């Protein structure tokens, strides 16, 4: 078996389903993937698919809003491999659609914790692992200001604002920070947002993963 140190290490946060899982699978052909998500069963299914295709992954079933868990994860990556080549951040809390004056307080709190606070915590944890040569990827979804997308749109926009600031700050020094825009995809999250949509017209997450990763060079 090939030693794990022969592979660059990729961290995928939000890797259990949808685009995150598709990106993890695509990366596993060339990287050892550290896959982070809350859902143990979905991570195990991802691991089965990766192994069946000849790849290898390390599963990290944890919630990104738990600061101590993220600190321990990044410390473990440092101790085991020393660095990361790539971080792809796909974890998001997609709050149910709601008029702004009916937003559920718990959904808003979870949206802020997952989409904003966790991103702000993870960037300084992951940045030293990426160094000057690594790359980080964030995925835009410009729903800010759209009707019924109050909690999701506002917090997703805040996440991307953090990413763009980091991108501007590291333009000359690295790591290279990318903010990419996926095409509309046939995912469970989108189905909750647009239940009557014709899914045959939407991109498959696997195809989008391939397209987006190709943009990294």
| pLDDT tens-digit readout, 147-205 | 999 999 999 999 999 999 999 999 999 999 999 999 999 998 899 899 989 999 999 99
Taking CA atoms, 53 is separated from 26, 34, 43, 93, 112, in Å, by: 10, 16, 15, 29, 36
- The secondary structure of the chain in percent helix, strand, coil, rounded to multiples of 5, reads 50, 15, 35
pLDDT, one tens digit per residue, over 78-121 is 999 999 999 999 999 999 999 999 999 999 999 999 999 999 99
Residue among 73, 64, 22 nearest 45 (CA): 22
Q: Say how far residue 127 (Cα) sits from the centre of its chain.
A: 15
Sheet holding 135-139, edge to edge: 57-61, 32-37, 9-13, 86-89, 135-139, 176-180
**Phi and psi, residue 107, nearest 5°:** -65, -40
Torsion of CA 13, 108, 112, 9, to 10 degrees: 0
Helix (H) or strand (E) holding 163: helix 150-169
Domains, in order of start, for the chain: 4-206 (3.40.50.720)
- pTM equals 0.95
pLDDT by residue (tens digit) across 72-81? 999 999 999 9
Other CB atoms within 10 Å distance of the CB of residue 15: 32
| Cα–Cα distance, 92 to 102 (Å, whole number) | 21
pLDDT tens digits for 202-213?
999 999 999 999
Torsion over CA of 56, 84, 62 and 209, rounded to 10 degrees? -60
């Amino acid at each position: 078996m090939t030693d794990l140190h022969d592979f660059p290490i990729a961290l995928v946060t939000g890797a259990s389903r949808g685009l995150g899982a598709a990106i993890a699978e695509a990366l596993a052909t060339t990287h050892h993937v550290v896959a982070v998500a809350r859902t143990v069963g979905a991570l195990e299914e991802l691991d089965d698919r990766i192994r069946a295709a000849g790849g290898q992954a390390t599963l990290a079933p944890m919630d990104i809003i738990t600061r101590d868990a993220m600190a321990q994860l990044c410390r473990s990556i440092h101790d085991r491999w020393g660095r990361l080549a790539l971080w792809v951040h796909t974890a998001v809390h997609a709050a149910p659609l709601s008029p702004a004056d009916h937003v559920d307080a718990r959904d808003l709190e979870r949206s802020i914790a997952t989409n904003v606070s966790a991103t702000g915590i993870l960037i300084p944890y992951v940045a030293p692992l990426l160094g000057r040569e690594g790359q980080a990827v964030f995925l835009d979804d410009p729903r800010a200001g759209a009707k019924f997308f109050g909690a999701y749109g506002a917090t997703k926009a805040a996440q991307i604002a953090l990413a763009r600031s980091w991108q501007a700050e590291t333009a000359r020094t690295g790591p290279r920070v990318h903010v990419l825009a996926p095409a509309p995809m046939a995912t469970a999250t989108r189905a909750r947002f647009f239940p009557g949509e014709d899914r045959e017209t939407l991109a498959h997450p696997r195809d989008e993963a391939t397209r987006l990763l190709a943009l990294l060079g």
